[in-house]
Structure 1
Amino acid sequence: MSRGRGGNLAIAAVTFVALCSGAWLLGSDAETDAPPQPSAAQARSGTQEDPLAAAALPPSPPDRIRIPSIRVNAPLTGLGLTPQGSLDVPPAEKKNLAGWYEAGTTPGERGTAIVAGHVDNADGPAVFYRLGALKKGSTIEVERRDGTVALFSVDAVEVYGARGFPDQQVYGASRRPELRVITCGGGYSRATGYQGNVVVFAHLTGSR
């Protein structure tokens, strides 16, 4: 496995938009059934200083992600790139499955690790349906294959449109252990599906 921190920038954010069409919302009340979106209060302040992170862990593939405050407890599968060079996604029919970019940083080691999952599928809400409701300071736990659990604290939760997606900010290299959790979000159109992405920014605070 090669872990290129700069290689994260090869991921095309449009992948998430294109593959999360919101088929479930087509047969429901889109206004009341749409997933929660982050408020402006959860965005990163342009003047805030990054809090100190815990010491980086050695590389180890992740097996499970838990976000207790929004009741996420899901296995993780490795994700590669599509023939077009964008990030693949977990099978849509496995609604409680998330994925991580296995050619990049493993969660807990120095750099930016990427986790992605569906917000819904044709049958209803999926693993990251409530990701937009996450608050700053919430804990994300990632079980790793070496037996450790990497603990992350949420720094911000933001929503971006497909156009002007900040690739460097989301996927760029970091000198400390960081995590991004991504799903579909933003405005919803019955014609085009979701028009953006919800992105959670978090940093490592410890392990057990």
Structure 2
Amino acid sequence: MTTRQQRIAARGRRLETAAAAVTVVVAGALCAAVPAEDTARERRTAGLTMVADGVSRPEAVDTRPPLPEAGFLPRAEPERLRIPQLGTDVAVYADDAEDDGTPPVPDEDDAERAVWYQGGPSPGEQGPALVIGHLDTDDGPAAFAGLGALEPGAEVRVDRADGSTALFTVDSVEQYAKDDFPNERVYGPTRTAQLRLITCGGDWSEEEGYDANIVAFASLRN
């Protein structure tokens, strides 16, 4: 096991991804501690790492067992993800879980891109498509900066390799302590086509990095 994988395993929480029939670890490296200057530390405590008031709507999230339904898109890799509310426009690449079961996480020097977990559904297929991105680095905001401020009803556009664009509507944005992550809620099977955008959040320390994960739940717009 590499040093990076050991760090992820030590700080992440093991999650069972029912939809993909594999076990992964929540993105510990996404929120791991890195050396930080005072300006970076101040930025991380400036209120941008928490979920905004009124954006969490737990009852709006589809976590029901799947049933055969029409309206899904054929499988196609995501290539770009855009969130007009945040001004987000980032490239997306596909990757597998790490050898030790950890999910793919962009390298710190590749923090302007997000990664899709290709062991699960693609955006538009039935089930939860997982896209992971960094919140920030010591150089400034990263791919999923501001994710906790997304409002219910906001649009997420995913450009796919087949030339189509999957349009999603944000249902809820939630924040979980890393030691109390709701495995089934985030990773379990769903009746509809869902998108899960995952980044880090909460309080930050030099010793442990961020102590929480932010998850934006979105549904395919038919």
TM-score (norm 2): 0.81
Answer yes or no: is 1:11 the counterpart of 2:24: yes
| Cα-Cα RMSD | 2.3
2:121 & 2:25 partners in 1: Cα distance? Answer: 17
Tell me if the contact between 1:24 and 1:124 (Cα under 8 Å) persists in the aligned partners: no
**Do structure 1's residue 153 and structure 2's residue 169 form an aligned pair?**
yes
How far apart are the structure 2 equivalents of 1:137 and 1:130? 16
User: For residues 124 and 206 of structure 2, what CA distance do their matches in structure 1 show?
Assistant: 38
SS of residue in 1 equivalent to 2:54: helix
Gaps of 5+ in 1: none
Find the counterpart in structure 2 of residue 187 from structure 1: 203
Q: What secondary structure, in the 3-state scheme, does the structure 2 residue paired with 1:169 have?
A: helix
Kept in 1: contact 2:40–2:138 (CA 8 A): no
Equivalent position of 1:57 in the other structure: 73
Is 2:180 the partner of 1:168? Answer: no
TM-superposed deviation, 1:36: 3.8
Percent identity among equivalent residues?
37
The CA distance in 2 between the partners of 1:163 and 1:170, in whole Å, is: 14
Equivalent residues of 2:33, 2:207 under 8 A apart: no
Provide the C-alpha distance between the structure 1 equivalents of 2:180 and 2:61, rounded to a whole number of angstroms. Answer: 24
- What does residue 68 of structure 1 align with? 84
Residue 39 of structure 1: aligned partner: 52
Which one-letter code corresponds to 2:208 in the other structure? T
Task: Give the conservation status (yes or no) of the 8 Å contact 1:24–1:120.
Answer: no
Question: How many aligned residue pairs are there?
Answer: 198
Residue aligned with 2:123, SS:
coil
1:93-120 deviation digits (Å, cap 9, x = unpaired): 1221001001110001111100001111
AA aligned to 1:200 is: A
Alignment deviations for residues 117-165 of structure 1 (CA, whole Å, 9 cap, x no partner): 1111232211111111111110000001111100000000011111110
